[in-house]
Amino acid sequence: MSKISPLAFIDPEAKIGKNCEIGPFCFIDKNVVIGDNNVLMNSVTILYGARIGNGNIFFPGAVISAIPQDLKFRGEETTAEIGDNNKIRENVTINRGTAALGKTIVGSNNLLMEGAHVAHDCVVGSGCIIGNQTKLAGEVVIDDNAILSAVVLVHQFTHIGGFVMIQGGTRLGSDIPPYTIVGREPVKYCGLNLVGLRRRGFSNETIDQIHEAYRIVYSEGLNVKDAVEKLKNLPQTPEVKYITEFIESSKRGIVK
């Protein structure tokens, strides 16, 4: 049985799963679906179009599925979809989608720290950490296990690869290839995310293969097209293939 404060407002059309805790002054709109074992601390706002999985914790002041901050939005039916076992800290905002994608997606097992903003049509993978006051503009894609430190500003349409570490205060306007560290002003490639890769269990052999791929990309003075062709001549391990396909498909261009 769910534990719901009498001071919370829940629209009769909202669907609430089993064993949820909903604190005082929460607001849950119509056309909302919340799964099992979720905790909403006081003053959490869940608006029209939210689709929430199981086992998430929402801290005070979080606002989920507000309409997009996009002048092209015309009230179309869209959603904000959140997976399982996420920690959504104080004052996090996750907007719902627009006609561009139709939904904003946050995967599972993520930590979104205080004041983070996820704009319309973003796709955030699983196992990510989004630091305090970090802001994602519209249609940003973040692959699994990425870490964005505090006060990172991400331009719309940017693609951030998996297993990256982005230093605090960084402004991003280029795509960030997987397994890397980026930072400084203006933003630069700063090497491999060695600590993160070792913590995630990557072998020394695999790390050496990743290093060789980025030596080709960043140390041989090649243009992107030639670098991609040379990458295709390396042994196509899953990691090298991921790097190659990421760079080849980049629309904004990768960080220098």
Helix, strand, or coil (residue 93):
strand
Rounded to two decimals, what is the model's pTM? Answer: 0.97
Yes or no: say if 58 and 41 are a contact pair by the CB < 8 Å rule: yes
Q: How many whole angstroms separate alpha carbon 28 and alpha carbon 63?
A: 10
**Quick one: CA dihedral 175, 180, 183, 185, positive or negative?**
negative
Amino acid making up residue 79: T
CATH C-level class of 197-249: mainly alpha
Percent of the chain predicted with pLDDT > 70 = 100
* Residue-level length of the chain: 256
Q: What does the pLDDT average to over 11-16?
A: 98
Other beta carbons within 10 angstroms of residue 127's beta carbon come to 17
Work out the pLDDT band at 117, boundaries 50, 70, 90: very high
| Residue range 86-103, pLDDT digits in tens | 999 999 999 999 999 999
Other beta carbons within 10 angstroms of residue 200's beta carbon come to 13
| Residue range 139-155, pLDDT digits in tens | 999 999 999 999 999 99
Q: How many whole angstroms separate alpha carbon 35 and alpha carbon 126?
A: 18
- Please give the CATH number for the structural domain made up of 3-139: 2.160.10.10
- The answer to whether residue 138 is catalytic is yes
What's the mean pLDDT when you consider all of the chain? 97
Work out the pLDDT band at 209, boundaries 50, 70, 90: very high
Q: Supply the pLDDT for residue 16.
A: 98
Q: Supply the pLDDT for residue 188.
A: 96
Judged against a pLDDT cut of 90, whether residue 203 lies above it is answered with: yes
Q: Supply the pLDDT for residue 20.
A: 98
Q: What does the pLDDT average to over 60-89?
A: 97
Q: Supply the pLDDT for residue 143.
A: 98
Q: How many whole angstroms separate alpha carbon 138 and alpha carbon 118?
A: 8
Q: What does the pLDDT average to over 49-67?
A: 98
Q: What does the pLDDT average to over 111-136?
A: 98
| Residue of 88, 111, 106, 83 lying closest to 96 (CA atoms) | 106
CA distances from 152 to 143, 145, 173, 207 (A): 16, 16, 11, 26
Work out the pLDDT band at 1, boundaries 50, 70, 90: confident
Q: What does the pLDDT average to over 219-230?
A: 95
Q: What does the pLDDT average to over 22-47?
A: 98
Beta bridge partners, 254, equal 175
Q: To 10 degrees, the CA torsion angle through 135, 137, 139, 140?
A: -40
Regarding beta strands 39-40 and 21-22, do their DSSP bridges make them parallel or antiparallel, or are they unpaired? parallel
Burial code of 18-44, b = ≥16 C-beta within 10 A, e = fewer?
Answer: eebebbeebebbebbbbbebbbbbebb
| Domain ranges (residues) in the chain | 3-139, 197-249
Given 97, 120, 143, 196, the catalytic residue: 120
Q: Supply the pLDDT for residue 191.
A: 97
Given 29, 70, 84, 121, the catalytic residue: 121
Question: What's the half-sphere exposure (Cβ side, CA atoms, 13 Å) at 180?
Answer: 26
Given 138, 161, 162, 196, the catalytic residue: 138
